[in-house]
Amino acid sequence: MAQVGRPGLSAEQKRDLWQRWKAGQSLSEIGRALEKHAGSIHGVVAANGGFVPRARRRRSSALTLREREEISRGLAQGAALRAIAASLGRAPSTISREVRRCGGPRRYRAAPADERAWEEARRPQPCRLARNGRLRQLVARKLSVDWSPEQISGWLAQAFPADDAMRVSAETIYRSLFIQARGVLKKELVAHLRSRRTMRRSKHASTHGQGRGGIVDAVSIRERPAEVADRAIPGHWEGDLIAGGKNTHVATLVERRSRFTMLVKVDGKDTETVVDALRRQVRTLPKQLRTTLTWDRGMELAAHKRF
């Protein structure tokens, strides 16, 4: 019997996610709004390096779906490519290339051809750092001695005032670091950024009131074993603390592979109380089913080492 996986985010939820991220909400805040665990939200955001995906756009001169439907109808009626091109006011070479790329006269279908065009339009073009080896080496060298992307961009403009090919924006450098592309900037260079972040944050984001400074020896979600991500082995859990009415709290523990969920009544949200309740609950599990626990950066698990 086929295994039913955890439902992902719908297109509408993803739009909502990125709007909230751009507005500066934390992973936990977004997760609660979408009723998803913060770890799931992190996976979507980290895959894009923290950058809001660009909207799909095509050139104004590109063929439209309506034109592709006309091409499909013309082919079905046996019309010549030149005749189809003339009826659409297009060059014969444009129609010929379109039909050839999409299966030929007998296999051409308008909707799949249009979707393929959208996918090609969405595919990112190589950035300047990917195309210019000399520029890439200079940027990598400056990053390795702890220059910020802003400093590097400004220095290049002064060092090469007449050479536009040796210019690059700070944003492009950040994108190349946070969205890993083969042959651009090595991910090890991220460690030289002053922020120590591994993905871009909105300029509206704030950590005020989140109490993150009190979490000693916090372990990043990026340090989880690979087996956690693919859900191949049971025993890896995700947790969160839910606040109810009249100052009540419940901790949720979700096993990533089976999605088995345990609810843990917690008498308060301070870290000692939460950790004690979680320890009592986890001790009821077989040892092989208590391998890792992923939690967001809330202060309720500041005593994570004791847990």
98: pLDDT strictly greater than 90: yes
5: pLDDT strictly greater than 50: no
| CB contact at 8 A, 9 and 17 | yes
Cα–Cα distance between 250 and 277 in angstroms, integer?
A: 10
Give just the sign of the alpha carbon dihedral 280, 285, 287, 292.
Answer: negative
Percent of the chain with pLDDT over 70: 82
pLDDT of residue 27: 77
Q: Which range among 40-49, 80-89, 213-222, 293-302 has the greatest average pLDDT?
A: 80-89
220: pLDDT strictly greater than 90: no
pLDDT of residue 207: 45
Model confidence band, residue 66 (pLDDT cutoffs 50, 70, 90): very high
Tell me the chain's radius of gyration from C-alpha atoms: 26
pLDDT of residue 123: 67
Does the domain made of 212-301 have the CATH classification 3.40.50.720?
no
Q: Which of 189, 229, 196, 194 shows the shortest CA–CA distance to 47? A: 229
pLDDT of residue 108: 95
pLDDT of residue 307: 80
For the chain, the structural domain boundaries read 11-47, 65-122, 128-192, 212-301
pTM for the structure as a whole:
0.41
109: pLDDT strictly greater than 90: yes
Task: For residue 213, count other CB atoms closer than 10 A to its CB.
Answer: 8
Q: Which of 28-37, 153-162, 163-172, 223-232 has the lowest mean pLDDT?
A: 223-232
pLDDT of residue 112: 92
Cα–Cα distance between 203 and 201 in angstroms, integer?
A: 6
